Structures are given as structure tokens and as C-alpha cells.
């Protein structure tokens, strides 16, 4: 877990820039305009996941193993296949999004389509860097450079008195993602310099896609659960309700940020330990992740309970109404931190299909509760639905991992079962 402190520091900095960017956007666009922005961005983020074609997760396994084994030809083939696939799918889904926006006269949706390609490529290149143990480079461009550029451009727009529209804000978001991607390509070339002299080996093409496809569906379900509330609120209640929820969600993401940082750098170690059959080491790693993650989550949750209203008010006076939603989302974040790295323990150890079934069940729970609660409770109802779905899939995966690997991945950290049941 070397680099954990660096990873957490980078993520905290990134959250700060992202928070600042959202405050600028809410101030420049107002509550309704900010709601329209997050709805269009939500569609773009949902479509970015299929655009990545699952390679952001399969890279953590294949790149790790190929580097350990010195299989540079296969590594080069995998990288080329991943990038080519992402570019092709990104162009297709962003084109479909733009056509849909034009057909419905929703210009922000058309502008949001420009975000898909750079964000998809950035989201695949970063995990490859993580698998290569380039901890700083794997995070700084996506988590810090991208929101920092957006903050700078929004600041300039505010200083010169530019009248910001929703479409202009979305285009600036796309420009920030593209700039971060271009900056990442330089250290990416250095990290994989050893593949330049190797002949690309595409002999495992079927295996790459066989793993990437279920990973794609899993990631898409996760992102759909993340963005569903914003989209449904905009449809069922209005853009203002989406803006309130988005502000609460942005703050609530502080709760599990340590868990996200730790699992991010631990992912290659999980894939490597599974490849070597070192499940006792895996149990120690899982326990450490959950305990540190939960400790930070409880502290962050307490601070949000105390300072939530004034922090929301930074978005604008009307955003304080999102405080109940913030508390509901914080509960889900604490539950997520308690169960630890259960998702990675399934998807990086060859159990992606059971993980897919669990996420599908949680998605059904999310849809049902959103449809039930949003009409009467608005943003609070969406927050309750979101947290309920989060608790559902985390607990289900916690039970499954204990059964399949003998590992208690939670902060309790029970002793590993020597002979777990086969799956």
C-alpha cells in the first residue's frame, strides 16, 4: 500500500477543485441552469461508461499481469485494442447523443456529447497507469488537472463578465477533459516505453473482450445508479431539483473518498494477489482498506452533518434546501466505506458475473425506490433511493466475498476462512 498517503492527498485535492468548479458553475448558471448542466452531464457520464467498453477495469488485471510476466507484446496489443475500441465506441455513442439532442431541440445535450470521447480515453489511460504503478500520473490528470482547468476557465469567464450558458459550460468541461488527456499522453508514453520494441500480440483478443464485456455492463450499471437520480429528478420534478441533488451528491462524495483512493491504488495488488493465489495477503489488504476508509468516512460524515448547510450555501442560498438529501447520501457513503473493496474483490478475481447479477438487483431497487419516492420527496427521495441501492449491493457483495474467498472485507475484518465454499 505504498503511495496510499499520496493517493489520498491527490484525491482530496481533486475533490477540492471539483467542488470549486461546481460552485463556480452554480453561481454562473443559477439553480435552474446548474440543474440543466448536471442533467446533460449526467447523460454524458452514463454514455461514457459504454464508450470505455469495460477496458478501464480489465486493464487493471491484464496490464498488471503482463507487466509482471514481461509479456510486452501482449501488453502492446492490449493497449492498442483498448484505445481503438474506446475511440470507435465513443464516436458512436456521442454521435447518438448529439442526434438525440438535435431531435429534441435540447442543445445542452448536443454540447454534452463532446465530453464523451476525451473523458472515455482519460478514464481508460488512467487505470493503465495505475496498473503500471505510476500512482501520481494515474490520478493527477483525471482528478486534479481536469477540474483545475475548468476552474481556471470559469474564473476567467467570470472576471471578464462573460454570460455563461449551459452549453458553453458543457463545452468548457469537454475542453478541460481534452487538455488533461493530452497532458497525460506524455507520461503514458514513458510508462510503457518498453513496449515500443515489442511486436503487438493480439492472440488474446477474445479473452480481452470476454472480460471487458461484463466489466462494461457492471461499470455502466454503477454509473447509471450514480446519475439516475439527477436524470429522473429532471424528468419528474424539474431541473432545479436535479441541481439540489447534484450539490448534495458532490459534498457527500467526501465521505468515501479515502476508500476510493485506497481501492484505486490497491486494485493492481488485488489482481496480482489473485494471480499468485495469495488470499491471506488479500485478506490483510482488504481489512486495512475498510478500516482506514471507515475511519475517514465517519469523520467526514460528522463534519458534513455539522457544516453541511453552510457548505451547500456556497453553491447559492437556495442550495441549503439540499441538506436532508446530503445526510441521506452520507449514510450510504459510510455504509460503502464499511464494506471496503468488495467490488474489486469480485471483479478482479474472476467473479465479474456474480457481481453483475448483484449490481442488476441493486439497479432494480434503485429504480423502484426512485419512482416511488421522488414524486413526494423530491431530492430527499432520490437520496434515500441512492443510499438504499448502495447499501444493497455492498452488503450482497460482502456476503458473497466471504463465501467465495473466505475474506471478510468489512471493517470488522473477521479471520479468513481456510476453506471457503466453491462458487
CA torsion sign, 264 to 269 to 275 to 280? negative
d(CA 89, CA 87): 6
Which residues, in sequence order, are CB contacts of 423 under 8 Å at separation 6+? 351, 354, 400, 403, 404
Is there a contact between 47 and 94 (Cβ–Cβ < 8 Å)?
yes
| Residue carrying C-alpha cell 511486436 | 199
Vertex 139 angle, CA 35 and 70, to 5°: 140
d(CA 220, CA 231): 15
Label residue 213 exposed, middle or buried (CB < 10 Å: 0-12, 13-18, 19+).
Answer: middle
d(CA 304, CA 322): 12
d(CA 23, CA 10): 20
Q: Is the pTM of this model over 0.75?
A: yes
d(CA 288, CA 1): 9
- Tell how far CA 257 is from the center of its chain: 11
Q: 258: closest CA among 142, 341, 351, 167?
A: 341
Which residues, in sequence order, are CB contacts of 397 under 8 Å at separation 6+? 339, 342, 343, 345, 346, 355, 358
- Tell how far CA 397 is from the center of its chain: 18
Is there a contact between 221 and 359 (Cβ–Cβ < 8 Å)?
yes
**Predicted local confidence at residue 417, as pLDDT:** 63
Radius of gyration (Cα) for the chain, nearest Å?
A: 21
d(CA 255, CA 299): 8
Cell of 349: 478475481
**Predicted local confidence at residue 416, as pLDDT:** 64
Mean pLDDT per 10-residue section of the chain, whose length is 423 residues: 64 82 89 91 87 85 88 94 94 93 89 94 92 85 92 87 89 95 94 89 87 74 77 88 89 84 76 76 86 92 93 90 95 93 84 86 91 93 93 93 88 68 50
Vertex 59 angle, CA 53 and 60, to 5°: 130
Which residues, in sequence order, are CB contacts of 149 under 8 Å at separation 6+? 175, 176, 179, 180
DSSP alpha helices (H): ranges in 237-351? 239-252, 257-276, 279-313, 323-339, 342-347
d(CA 93, CA 142): 21
d(CA 415, CA 48): 39
Amino acid at each position: 500500500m505504498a503511495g496510499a498517503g499520496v493517493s489520498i492527498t491527490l484525491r482530496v485535492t481533486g475533490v477540492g477543485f471539483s467542488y470549486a468548479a461546481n460552485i463556480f458553475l452554480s453561481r454562473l448558471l443559477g439553480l435552474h441552469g446548474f440543474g440543466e448542466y448536471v442533467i446533460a452531464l449526467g447523460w454524458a457520464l452514463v454514455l461514457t461508461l459504454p464508450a470505455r467498453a469495460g477496458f478501464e477495469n480489465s486493464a487493471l488485471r491484464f496490464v498488471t499481469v503482463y507487466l509482471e510476466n514481461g509479456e510486452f507484446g501482449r501488453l502492446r496489443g492490449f493497449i492498442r485494442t483498448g484505445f481503438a475500441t474506446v475511440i470507435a465506441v465513443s464516436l458512436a455513442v456521442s454521435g447518438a447523443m448529439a442526434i438525440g439532442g438535435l431531435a429534441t431541440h435540447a442543445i445542452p445535450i448536443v454540447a454534452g456529447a463532446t465530453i464523451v470521447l476525451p473523458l472515455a480515453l482519460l478514464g481508460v489511460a488512467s487505470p493503465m497507469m495505475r496498473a503500471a504503478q505510476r500512482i501520481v500520473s494515474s490520478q493527477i490528470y483525471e482528478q486534479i488537472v481536469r477540474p483545475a482547468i475548468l476552474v481556471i476557465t470559469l474564473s476567467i469567464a467570470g472576471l471578464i463578465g462573460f454570460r455563461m450558458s449551459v452549453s458553453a459550460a458543457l463545452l468548457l468541461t469537454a475542453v478541460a477533459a481534452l487538455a488533461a488527456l493530452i497532458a497525460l499522453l506524455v507520461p503514458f508514453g514513458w510508462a510503457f516505453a518498453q513496449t515500443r520494441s515489442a511486436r503487438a500480440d493480439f492472440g488474446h483478443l477474445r479473452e480481452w473482450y470476454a472480460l471487458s464485456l461484463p466489466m462494461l455492463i457492471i461499470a455502466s450499471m454503477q454509473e447509471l445508479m450514480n446519475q439516475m437520480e439527477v436524470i429522473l429528478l429532471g424528468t419528474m420534478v424539474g431541473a432545479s431539483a436535479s441541481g439540489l441533488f447534484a450539490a448534495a451528491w458532490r459534498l457527500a462524495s467526501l465521505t468515501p473518498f479515502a476508500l476510493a483512493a485506497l481501492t484505486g491504488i490497491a486494485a493492481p495488488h488485488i489482481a496480482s494477489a489473485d494471480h499468485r493465489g495469495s488470499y491471506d495477503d488479500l485478506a490483510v489488504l482488504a481489512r486495512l482498506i475498510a478500516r482506514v476508509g471507515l475511519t475517514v468516512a465517519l469523520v467526514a460524515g460528522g463534519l458534513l452533518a455539522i457544516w453541511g448547510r453552510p457548505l451547500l450555501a456556497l453553491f447559492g442560498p437556495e442550495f441549503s434546501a439540499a441538506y436532508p438529501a446530503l445526510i441521506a447520501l452520507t449514510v450510504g457513503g459510510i455504509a460503502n466505506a464499511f464494506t471496503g473493496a468488495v467490488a474489486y474483490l469480485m471483479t478482479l478475481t474472476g467473479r465479474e458475473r456474480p457481481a453483475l447479477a448483484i449490481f442488476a438487483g441493486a439497479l432494480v431497487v434503485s429504480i423502484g425506490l426512485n419512482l416511488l419516492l421522488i414524486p413526494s420527496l423530491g431530492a430527499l427521495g432520490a437520496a434515500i433511493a441512492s443510499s438504499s441501492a448502495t447499501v444493497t449491493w455492498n452488503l450482497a457483495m460482502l456476503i458473497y466475498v466471504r463465501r467465495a474467498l473466505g475474506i471478510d472485507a468489512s471493517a470488522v475484518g473477521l479471520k479468513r476462512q481456510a476453506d471457503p465454499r466453491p462458487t
